[in-house]
Amino acid sequence: MTARLMLLPAKKIENMKIVSIPSDFDARGALRRATSLIASIEEEDPDCDWDDMAAVLEDNGFEVQPFTIGPDID
């Protein structure tokens, strides 16, 4: 089975993250869930960092995936 991935974009390329989508979510449900989780973390702690977000996402079945930024394809 192929992993289903979601890009978490950021203003700076080096801050982008990729997470795998839990098997019990479709793409739309995963987007909604991740958005809700990130918003609740940021609301609860405006000074939160990626480690805080990653922990909550992982607790909810998303897995942070390693990746390398490749060449620009524009």
pTM: 0.87
pLDDT at 2: 77
Residue 1 has pLDDT above 80, yes or no: no
Residue 62 has pLDDT above 70, yes or no: yes
Q: Whose CA is closest to 7, among 71, 69, 56?
A: 69
Q: 3-class DSSP state for residue 73?
A: coil
The identity of residue 51, as a single letter, is: D
pLDDT at 3: 82
* pLDDT tens digits for range 12-57: 988 999 999 999 999 999 999 999 999 999 999 999 999 999 999 9
